[in-house]
Amino acid sequence: MSERVLIAGGGPVGMVTALALARRGFPVSVFEAEDRINDAPRASTTHPATLELLDDLGLVGEAMRDGVAARTFQFRDRAKDAIIAEFDHEILRSDTRFPLVVQYEQHKLARLAMKHLREFPGTEVHFSARAVGAEPAAGHVDLVAETAQGQKRFRGAFLVGADGGRSTVRKSMGIEFDGYTWPERFIVLTTRFDFEAQRGYCARTYFSDPEEWANLFKVAGEDGKGLWRVVFPTRPDESDESALADAGVQERLMRFFPKRAPYEVVHRNLYKVHQRVAAAFRKGRVLLAGDAAHINNPIGGLGLNCGIHDAVELAQCLERFCGAAGGPDELDLYDRRRRTINIEFVQSQTIANKKRLEEKDPLVRAKSFDELKATAADPVRHRAFLLRTSLIDSVRRAALIQ
């Protein structure tokens, strides 16, 4: 392939897209606004269908070696500190090569993809290069970027906007980002306190609570010794300052998981949470992927996973488009498949997940718990539930969209 692909955004989706394209012979140039890969704690849950894609890209060995394997996950009733249901990916053994989740921090994935990318000739990664505009023309597209040497213009055959939720590429193409923003924000607190050894919680635990739900995850951390991340909603009227202040942080952790000594909190972060999908994932020679195309609340760990699926589909579509028999429909197929999948699977599941954890009506809560228990107890329903949460169903559905 001689067509250079420009990619705005060197986050996990930008780097994985670049690698997927480079492996198909495309020269690629990545433009990242910051001077390094952002290592703020965000995604880590990597589902079976995504592990298969990472395997095809030659990344899964290192991801599994450096990540935390999580074969099971639990729903718990916070008020009673009781397990509602436990799900075990082992039941998917005949459906996937990877019947487990791997907790692998997203900045490690971006770094790993960049390391592999550098093995391919014709690839460039520009840090401190902020995309400020996209200028499409017949047969090519220009990207204007602010660099340390001033504003520069780069030309490619295609441009991928993988520049996150506030995507400059999406805005510059005039593509609407329809949806809404939740009134509360999510606070992520990271601690070394070992919730498995001390409390018996597993590496992925979802706590339902009408007052204040929580999600608990284990990740490896930089030293591999293990860190635990707890995600809580803030109250809509709570200021960012008070949520992030030491007193507020300790109070929140103690309320959920009381202990004598204060928590050692190694990281704290606050995120706005949205449900939004771009009106189009493709306009001419410009394509959107990852958070630039869709954002959702993180309960269920689906946003980045979906972005990695975008990356692979995008590379396949561009390869077919640039091949001998390719036509414009190949690019539209990217939009049809990925947009549909995001709405049908990611948006609907993450909204349902949030409602399940925060439900206040005792009768609805009890019904939802009964439903989860019955699902986990029945092997047919257990498998069906995991086929959906692990995105295997979404891959099967995407293949049917022509």
Pick between residue 206 and residue 369 the one whose CB is nearest to ligand FAD: 206
The minimum distance between CB 233 and ligand FAD, in angstroms, equals 11
Tokens of 368: 């939802």
Pick between residue 106 and residue 390 the one whose CB is nearest to ligand FAD: 106
The minimum distance between CB 269 and ligand FAD, in angstroms, equals 7
The minimum distance between CB 51 and ligand FAD, in angstroms, equals 12
Pick between residue 16 and residue 322 the one whose CB is nearest to ligand FAD: 16
Pick between residue 14 and residue 67 the one whose CB is nearest to ligand FAD: 14
What is the phi-psi region of residue 107: left when phi exceeds 0, alpha when psi lies from -120 to 50, beta otherwise? alpha
Q: Using an 8 Å Cβ cutoff, are 36 and 189 in contact?
A: no
The minimum distance between CB 58 and ligand FAD, in angstroms, equals 19
Distances in whole angstroms, Cα of residue 253 to Cα of each of 186, 241, 273, 299, 301: 14, 16, 21, 19, 22
d(CA 108, CA 65): 12
Pick between residue 140 and residue 276 the one whose CB is nearest to ligand FAD: 276
Tokens of 155: 């030309």
Q: Could you identify the residue written with the tokens 């017949």?
A: 138
Pairing of strands 158-161, 5-8: parallel
- Give the number of other CB atoms < 10 A from CB of residue 245: 13
Pick between residue 37 and residue 372 the one whose CB is nearest to ligand FAD: 37
d(CA 313, CA 335): 10
Tokens of 48: 């079976």
Pick between residue 310 and residue 319 the one whose CB is nearest to ligand FAD: 310
- Give the number of other CB atoms < 10 A from CB of residue 395: 21
* DSSP codes, 144-168: EEEETTEEEEEEESEEEE-S-TT-H
| Contact footprint for ligand FAD (CB under 6 A) | 8-14, 31-34, 38, 42-45, 106, 130-131, 162-164, 168, 186, 188, 231, 271, 290-291, 298, 301-305, 307
The minimum distance between CB 208 and ligand FAD, in angstroms, equals 18
The minimum distance between CB 19 and ligand FAD, in angstroms, equals 13
- Give the number of other CB atoms < 10 A from CB of residue 289: 31
The minimum distance between CB 347 and ligand FAD, in angstroms, equals 13
The minimum distance between CB 297 and ligand FAD, in angstroms, equals 8
Pick between residue 128 and residue 340 the one whose CB is nearest to ligand FAD: 128
Strand order through the sheet with 150-156: 130-137, 140-147, 150-156
Pairing of strands 204-208, 72-77: parallel
